[in-house]
Amino acid sequence: MKKAVIVTLNPKNKGRVKELIALAETAGYRVVDLIAQNRKRPDSKFFIGRGKVEQLKHIVNKYITQKDKVTVIVDGSLKPIQYFNLVKTLGNVGIIDRVQLILEIFDKHAGSKEAKLQIELARLKHIIPIIKEWVRQRKLGELPGFLGAGKYKVESYYLLIKRRIAHIERELKKIRKQREKLRKQRHELGLRTIAIVGYTSAGKTTLFNVLTGESKKIGKELFTTLSPKVKSAFINGIKVLFLDTVGFIDYVPIEIIEAFYSTLEEIVDAEVLILVIDISEEHSEILRKMRGVIETFTKIGVSGKPMIIVANKIDLVRNFSEIVEKAREVYKALSTSYDGPLATTYVSALNRIGIDNLKNTLAMFIKAKTFSITATIPENSLYKVKAPFILAKKKDSLCYCIFEVKDYELNSIISELKKCTAKILEIRRVQ
């Protein structure tokens, strides 16, 4: 069994501790103990104070058996020197920090090639400073078996990782280009993307499924979704694309943001954002998670877009005024830190409550765009065309016609024109 002992410097922040336990469990650990030290900054040598390290060693030894391995999970980001000092002092235990824990979960859930590469990249970038420290520490005597690479010489292992990083970055670039091409096509077709964003497990995929009629995997676990998915649907007659995204998390390490940038980029490109919030949680938890979301927005450069705050899971709260009060606080927090137009709606994605209201709110934000189609139509077919048009010129019994259409009419007009043996010369966005 994978046993875990958690080390935290924020014992008073109950939500964060609870979240770390949930993350550990999602990664497949059984949390057997917790060591807490209330301090503002980590100790520069060991993360926790020297006395606490001794206590940690004692606790860890208590749980190690022939069958059971113990991993120490540090709630924070370990500096290489802290990592090495802990390895030296604690001996034969696994030591991971928050980044590595999140990456372990990502690894478990990664389905697509892109997600797998992104995770490997984040992982390698995370261990590079550790390897550098390892190189430095060689003077003090090598640490055999570290990261399973005992048989490699440290320097060649370092070079191997560097080469692998370069290779993955090239591969990701190719996938990114492909993604950009698809995005451009969507733009050209006048399709608007609505990105569903929010903290992990807020109910994004559940809402995505309701809005698009999909049956994408949802789950109690954290980070069920790792690859973004796009599906079209109609909002009051307007065709839009909904985008389900990877969940955000508090204290997101920069390595993860960088590695997942191309998927997060889709959010930057969306026209409207739906921010899903689990309104059944405590006030303090909702606000803590909000801060995580805002931090991620800042890092990826999201600003100015209309955003609909969707207070989800209302079925779990008995008192409606409590829901409204919490949602108001979220609105207040966002209106001071986010610069786009905001609106709030209340839903239960699971029970399909409030969905029509959400759709109506969405429709307010989606403005129809106008396209101009230029086509040639044989003179003897002209009478078949029902849509209004301007006859620009006539040449050799061919009529050059210009149509002005709204984006949601595009598809039907194109098929109508095809039936009239028309040849489309150009489709251009007017506004």
Q: Which residues contact ligand GTP by CB under 6 A?
A: 198, 200-206, 218-220, 222-225, 247, 312-313, 315-316, 348-350
# residues contacting Mg ion (CB under 5 A)? 4
Which positions ≥6 away from 368 have C-beta within 8 Å? 238, 406, 407, 408
Do 105 and 96 contact (CB within 8 A), yes or no? no
Q: Name the binder of 158 from ligand GTP, Mg ion, none, CB < 5-8 A by kind.
A: none
Interaction of residue 193 with Mg ion, rule CB under 5 A: no
Q: Which of residues 222 and 399 has its CB atom nearest to ligand GTP in the complex?
A: 222
Angle among Cα 256, 272, 112 to the nearest 5 degrees reads: 40
Q: Name the binder of 318 from Mg ion, ligand GTP, none, CB < 5-8 A by kind.
A: none
For residue 223, how many other CB atoms are within 10 A of its CB?
20
Query: Taking the complex as a whole, how short is the minimal distance between the CB of residue 182 and ligand GTP, in angstroms?
Result: 22
Tokens for 172? Answer: 């990701």
Instruction: Please identify the residue of the shown chain whose CB is closest to the bound ligand GTP.
Output: 247
Give the Cα separation of 345 and 308 in Å (integer): 7
Query: Taking the complex as a whole, how short is the minimal distance between the CB of residue 31 and ligand GTP, in angstroms?
Result: 19
Interaction of residue 205 with Mg ion, rule CB under 5 A: yes
Per-residue x/- track, 225-244, Mg ion (CB under 5 A): x-------------------
Q: Which of residues 166 and 316 has its CB atom nearest to ligand GTP in the complex?
A: 316
Interaction of residue 345 with Mg ion, rule CB under 5 A: no
Give the Cα separation of 421 and 378 in Å (integer): 7
Q: Name the binder of 200 from ligand GTP, Mg ion, none, CB < 5-8 A by kind.
A: ligand GTP
Query: Taking the complex as a whole, how short is the minimal distance between the CB of residue 186 and Mg ion, in angstroms?
Result: 21
Half-sphere exposure of 164 (CA within 13 A, CB side): 17
Query: Taking the complex as a whole, how short is the minimal distance between the CB of residue 298 and Mg ion, in angstroms?
Result: 22
Q: Which of residues 227 and 381 has its CB atom nearest to Mg ion in the complex?
A: 227
Please say whether the dihedral angle defined by the alpha carbons of residues 177, 178, 183 and 185, taken in this order, is positive or negative: positive
Which positions ≥6 away from 98 have C-beta within 8 Å? 20, 23, 73, 74, 75, 76, 77, 251, 253
Interaction of residue 118 with Mg ion, rule CB under 5 A: no
Query: Taking the complex as a whole, how short is the minimal distance between the CB of residue 315 and ligand GTP, in angstroms?
Result: 5
Q: Which of residues 85 and 201 has its CB atom nearest to ligand GTP in the complex?
A: 201
Please say whether the dihedral angle defined by the alpha carbons of residues 62, 66, 67 and 70, taken in this order, is positive or negative: positive
Q: Which of residues 37 and 118 has its CB atom nearest to ligand GTP in the complex?
A: 118
Query: Taking the complex as a whole, how short is the minimal distance between the CB of residue 214 and ligand GTP, in angstroms?
Result: 11
Q: Name the binder of 99 from ligand GTP, Mg ion, none, CB < 5-8 A by kind.
A: none
Which helix (H) or strand (E) segment is 323 a member of? helix 320-337
Query: Taking the complex as a whole, how short is the minimal distance between the CB of residue 203 and ligand GTP, in angstroms?
Result: 3
Q: For the chain, how many residues are written?
A: 431
Give the Cα separation of 163 and 182 in Å (integer): 29
Q: Name the binder of 315 from Mg ion, ligand GTP, none, CB < 5-8 A by kind.
A: ligand GTP
Q: Name the binder of 223 from Mg ion, ligand GTP, none, CB < 5-8 A by kind.
A: ligand GTP
Range in contact with Mg ion (rule: CB under 5 A) among 204-212, 325-333, 389-397, 398-406: 204-212
Give the Cα separation of 59 and 33 in Å (integer): 8
Give the Cα separation of 97 and 104 in Å (integer): 11
Give the Cα separation of 162 and 287 in Å (integer): 39
Task: Describe the strand order of the beta sheet including 398-406 as a list of residue ranges.
Answer: 390-395, 398-406, 370-378, 423-429
Interaction of residue 224 with Mg ion, rule CB under 5 A: yes
Query: Taking the complex as a whole, how short is the minimal distance between the CB of residue 94 and ligand GTP, in angstroms?
Result: 25
Q: Which of residues 197 and 290 has its CB atom nearest to Mg ion in the complex?
A: 197
Q: Which of residues 7 and 194 has its CB atom nearest to ligand GTP in the complex?
A: 194
Residue showing tokens 């003179």: 379
Please state whether 156 falls in left (phi above 0), alpha (psi between -120 and 50) or beta.
alpha
